[in-house]
Amino acid sequence: MRATRYFFDHRGFTLVDTPIFTPTVCEGTTTLFEVEYFEDKAYLTQSGQLYNEAAAAAFGKVYSFGPTFRAEKSKTRRHLTEFWMVEPEVAYANLDDVLTLAEDLVVEIIRQVLQHCSSELETLNRDMTLLKKIQTPFPRLTYDQAVSILRAKGSDIQWGSDLGGTDETLLAKQYDQPIMVHRYPSQVKAFYMEPDPIRPELALSADVLAPEGYGEIIGGGQRVSSLELLRQRINEHQLPIAPFQWYLDLRKYGTFPHSGFGMGIERVVAWICGIEHVRETIPFPRTIYRLTP
């Protein structure tokens, strides 16, 4: 999206091209597309994040923009097996820093779409008054608060469970702004999330949920900076150490706090355009049952 390029380029970010073939998992071992890579095996990338962390060590503020792949056997209106993400990573940034960055990015995208694409939104019969209301700061809820709200609204969610699509919709309906849910239990987040120093059972992570039932459009957080803790978390997730050796070396030879997030472009387009299904946001969608054309 032109707005994302404009946003990051004008804030001093360096664009980084991250690999599509990767030797390691990033988001979860159950959603990998495995491919033959000569005498080895590789995976289609789930995220450029790990490589962005390396680039942030050199350039300070970086972002990638490219296709990502998730082998999720999901048939919801929010899922594709191949989609595009914009992923910034910022050295010396904490969770609050990247949440502010995420807010500003969303507002800038909407501002530019309203300025340059209002006629297209009219063709889609999009109610632009809802988009014009979007402004910072977005409401922020801890995971604990989110669970309490959901249970009061009739959800049977238990503490320690990740939010499902129905939960996200129920939460987001309480607001006319995107909301930020932060500090999820570490057990439902990836191995690289920094634990909360006050409550180590929580991760310094956050999701941004779009209003009108469109669910998560951004996920991110603060990364583990300790070499020892990162090695421990890799072991806890029963992942092989060898493919992550280069990633561990980023901490071994000089560590620093850093944070980032990933924005799903198709989900953002679906929300802004008021489109029912995410497959309608991309010319050649890939879903669990669709490989052609």
Tell me the pLDDT tens digit for each residue of 95-139. 999 999 999 999 999 999 999 999 999 999 999 999 999 999 999
CA distances from 124 to 54, 219, 272, 275 (A): 41, 28, 11, 8
Residue 30's pLDDT is 76
Residue 154's pLDDT is 92
β-pair type (179-182, 34-37): unpaired
- What is the residue-wise DSSP string for the chain? -HHHHHHHHTTTPEE----SEESS-SS-GGG--EEEETTEEEEE-S-SHHHHHHHHHHHSEEEEEEEEE------STT--SEEEEEEEEEET--HHHHHHHHHHHHHHHHHHHHHH-HHHHHHTT--HHHHHT--SSPPEEEHHHHHHHHHHTT----TTSPP-HHHHHHHHTT-SS-EEEE--BGGGS-TTBPBPSS-TTBBSEEEEEETTTTEEEEEEEEBP--HHHHHHHHHHTT--SGGGHHHHHHHHT----EEEEEEEHHHHHHHHHT-S-GGGGSSS--BTTB---
Handedness of CA 135, 136, 142, 145 (dihedral sign): negative
Q: Sorting pLDDT into bands at 50, 70 and 90, what band is 173?
A: confident
Residue 28's pLDDT is 73
For the segment 41-79, what is each residue's pLDDT rounded down to a tens digit? 999 999 999 999 999 999 999 999 999 999 988 888 889
Residue 42's pLDDT is 95
State the average pLDDT for the chain.
Answer: 94
* Rounded (5°) CA angle 83-278-20: 5
What the block records as the tokens of 125 is: 């019969």
Residue 75's pLDDT is 83
Domain with 265, as residue range(s), is 2-281
The Cα diameter of the chain in Å comes to 56
Residue 189's pLDDT is 95
**Whole-angstrom distance, CA of residue 193 vs CA of residue 222:** 6
Residue 78's pLDDT is 87
Asked if the model's pLDDT at residue 9 lies above 80, the reply is yes
Residue 186's pLDDT is 96
User: The domain spanning residue 95 has which CATH number?
Assistant: 3.30.930.10
Residue 233's pLDDT is 95
* Residue 81 belongs to some domain of the structure: yes
β-pair type (205-210, 179-182): antiparallel
Residue 222's pLDDT is 98
**Whole-angstrom distance, CA of residue 226 vs CA of residue 147:** 30
Q: Which burial class, exposed, middle or buried, applies to 271 when counting CB atoms under 10 A from its CB (0-12, 13-18, 19+)?
A: buried
Q: pTM to 2 decimals?
A: 0.95
For the segment 208-246, what is each residue's pLDDT rounded down to a tens digit? 999 998 999 999 999 999 999 999 999 999 999 999 999
Residue 74's pLDDT is 83
Residue 31's pLDDT is 84
Residue 138's pLDDT is 97
* Residue 221 belongs to some domain of the structure: yes
**Whole-angstrom distance, CA of residue 182 vs CA of residue 203:** 8
What the block records as the tokens of 63 is: 């972002």
Domain count, the chain: 1
**Whole-angstrom distance, CA of residue 143 vs CA of residue 146:** 5
**Contact by Cβ (8 Å): 201, 185:** yes
| Percentage above 70 pLDDT, the chain | 99
* Residue 106 belongs to some domain of the structure: yes
**Whole-angstrom distance, CA of residue 119 vs CA of residue 102:** 26
* Residue 292 belongs to some domain of the structure: no
Residue 136's pLDDT is 96
For the segment 18-48, what is each residue's pLDDT rounded down to a tens digit? 999 999 888 776 789 999 999 999 999 999 9
